[in-house]
Every structure is written in C-alpha cells, then in structure tokens.
Amino acid sequence: QVQLVESGGGLVQAGGSLRLSCAASGRTFSIYAMGWFRQAPGKEREFVAAIRWNGDSTLYVDSVKGRFTFSRDNAKNTVYLQMNNLKPEDTAVYYCAATRVIDITRSTSLYEYWGQGTQVTVSS
C-alpha cells in the first residue's frame, strides 16, 4: 500500500516556475515507477511525465518537453516535478501516481495509487 501527498502548487505568472513534490508512505516506494498527470476543467486527465523506479529513465508528453523535469529521491520517498517557463495551458490539477509496472508508462489505467492533487494556475 502506498499513500501519496502532493504539494507545491500555486498561482504563478506565465514564464514562471514551480516545483511540485509528491511524498509517499510505505517502505517499498523504491520499487514503484511514478507518474504525474494533470486535469484541466472540463477535460480528461492527461499524462504529463513518468519516471522509472530507479530514476534512470523518464518520459514526457511533448507539450512539456524541455520545460518540465521529473526526478526522484528514493531515500526521501519523494518525487519532484520541476516546471519552468510555465504557460497558461499548463493550468490544471496535478496528480502524482504510482505503478509497479517495470517499464515507465503513460497509461492512466496502469497506475494503482493516486494522490489527492495540487492546483497549478498560470496567469497570462
């Protein structure tokens, strides 16, 4: 069982930066691949980024490549999403999620555990 708690969201102007954190409970955190997803009002939840259990591989949706960086610190049971050069279209509730699938995946249905989400609002 893994419990996930996101933090770090907020209001920022376009071009600004935020760092989201996701703290996990459970001693087996290091075996889980992790993902970030987001959901804007009136839209479906979409994949943002994923990271392999040991941090040696990451995957990003095209719209955030070069702007977002996903990292993890297994000693602290925490993953981070550094978001730079934010755009108004990045506005959404951001969720972290955990999966035991070995290969990193963008498939929502393969993630077993989800956090409660943190709001990110980017003003123009």
Residues with Cβ within 8 Å of 110's Cβ and at least 6 positions away in sequence, in order, are: 99, 101
Tens-place pLDDT, residues 78-108: 999 999 999 999 999 999 999 988 888 999 9
Q: What is the percent of the chain with per-residue pLDDT over 70, rounded to a whole number?
A: 99
The two tokens of residue 107 are: 């498939």
Q: How many CB atoms lie within 10 A of CB 79?
A: 27
Does residue 51 have a pLDDT over 90?
yes
Does residue 21 have a pLDDT over 90?
yes
Does residue 27 have a pLDDT over 70?
no
